[in-house]
Amino acid sequence: MSQPVSRHDRVLPTIGIIALAAGIFAIDVITPLEVSVSILYVFVVLVASSIYGRTGILVAGLACEALTLIAHPLSPGDPWSHWSLIDRVIGVVGIAMSTLLVMRNQSTMDALQRSEAFLVEAQQLGRTGSVGWRDPRGEQYWSRETWRIYRYEPGQTAPTLAAMLARTHPDDRRLLEQTIEKAFREQTGFALEHRLSMPDGETRYVRIVTRIAREWAGEAGIVGAVMDITAARRAADELQRAQSDLARVTRATTMGQLAASIAHEINQPLTGVVTNGHTVLHWLNERTLNLDKARTTAERVLRDGERASGVVRRIQGLLMKTPPQATDIDLNELIGGVLDLLQTELRLRDVAVQTELAPALPAFLGDSVQLQQVVLNLVINGADAMSEVTSRPKVLVVGSREGDDGEGVVFVRDSGIGLDRETVDKIFSPFFTTKARGMGMGLTICRSIIEAHGGRLWASPAEPHGAQFQFILPNKAHADL
């Protein structure tokens, strides 16, 4: 695109235009040519269009028209003859038409420049460049923002797939190359996120979205957008870390609320260890020596020690600050571990637990600590919902089943006061709680955990009493983790 010429830079071109117009005027007045000399003023208008805007072009055109009319009575021969008049009219009309066409072209060019400037600014604000190419290995078209995203200077290198790959993270190069080759081979668009490795060692993230275009002289090519998603990706990572920290704090808070029952759960086997330890000493005493009974009692000591150690391990696992780790999860085993941890707490609340576990469930991909937190929260919420129930048994049903599409389903059903429609709509909102001393974050965190696993958590009224909370996890083939 042509750039505006400054006032200082217009001086010499303006002198040149005046000299050119004066020369044509002199030829028109002095030389008895039998052609329309005035038509040469069209060149003056064209030269003016490269320097001035629409107003300058109009002034140049009017000046040429004036010179043409002034030269008519001064030119050799009879200026009022039939052919002289026709010749002059041709010149005047030619200059007028040329001036109008040049002004119209200038308007189009100005509009195009404005459009391009807006596009450049919009792409820079949106951190989105454009790219297009006909041959996977051939030269591409890159917009200015695409050059910036890949941190090349226009003209520094040819815009090709090789230039893209040079900036692509080594672990992602083969994927990008195969994706582009497949798109050309199958004549289809693609969407791909991958990493860039910059010369300064920084790792950035881009998303390329393309489609097949057939508008280039009947040839198929690919056009697309290159989006710099580094800021969004880092923000998402920060959000995930913040959610992980919040979930850990919530787990710690829950453990604090269960401190009494957990202490009882640990104290029971430890009491057995102490008692059986004294018994072992008794059977090893010289006067009451009985090795068989001592061995049996020692085995009970080991069993109680393992039981106490298991409780501690489960609590430690829930409170440990570790990044999410996707492993194969046995849902029935996970449910059983949570119920073992809460058995004393539920017994103290007079809650009877029934399990409806589907046999032979496949393994599902997930983070065991996070999923334990979800089940733990749902079970405690179910027990809380039955705290004021006195006219019927407090029954909590915890179960699992396999969905129609192979997904895993876990449900917790209580026989409490239930949920009305308004509560169902709000219960997963942050800081909404039906408990007198609740924070209103437990179910919000649970839903975010399940959604991060590619699943869904929802609540519904249960029949004839209470509420039911269910979540699904996709099968391993469709897991997001």
Q: Annotate 77-140 with DSSP letters as a single string.
A: S-TTSHHHHHHHHHHHHHHHHHHHHHHHHHHHHHHHHHHHHHHHHHHHHHTEEEEEESSTTSB-
pLDDT interval class at 196 (50, 70, 90): very high
* Least confident interval from 53-62, 111-120, 187-196: 111-120
Residue 465 sits at φ, ψ, to 5 deg, of -135, 160
CA-CA distances (angstroms) from residue 15 to 2, 328, 459? 21, 83, 83
Model pLDDT, residue 356: 93
Average pLDDT of the segment spanning 428-450: 66
Displacement of CA 25 from its chain's centroid (Å): 67
Cα separation, 59 vs 48, whole angstroms: 9
**Mean pLDDT, the chain, whole residue set:** 79
Residue pair 416/467 in contact (Cβ under 8 Å)? The answer is: yes
Average pLDDT of the segment spanning 179-188: 87
Residue pair 311/337 in contact (Cβ under 8 Å)? The answer is: no
Quote the tokens at residue 115. Answer: 């459009």
Please determine, for residue 143, whether its predicted confidence score (pLDDT) is greater than 60: yes
- Amino acid (one-letter) located at 429: S
Q: 422: helix, coil or strand?
A: helix
pLDDT interval class at 331 (50, 70, 90): very high
Quote the DSSP letter at residue 230.
H
Four-CA torsion 15, 16, 20, 26, nearest 10 degrees = 40
* Least confident interval from 135-139, 265-269, 332-336, 469-473: 265-269
Which CATH code, of 1.10.10.10, 3.30.565.10, 3.40.50.920, 3.40.50.970, is assigned to 325-481?
3.30.565.10
Specify the higher pLDDT residue, 178 or 4. 178
pLDDT interval class at 185 (50, 70, 90): confident
Q: Is the pTM of this model over 0.75?
A: no
Model pLDDT, residue 95: 81
pLDDT interval class at 124 (50, 70, 90): low
CATH topology of domain 127-228: Beta-Lactamase (3.30.450)
Burial class (CB in 10 A: 0-12, 13-18, 19+), 246: middle
- 470 Cβ neighbours under 8 A, 6+ residues apart: 409, 410, 411, 412, 457, 458, 459, 460
Quote the DSSP letter at residue 5.
P
Please determine, for residue 226, whether its predicted confidence score (pLDDT) is greater than 50: yes
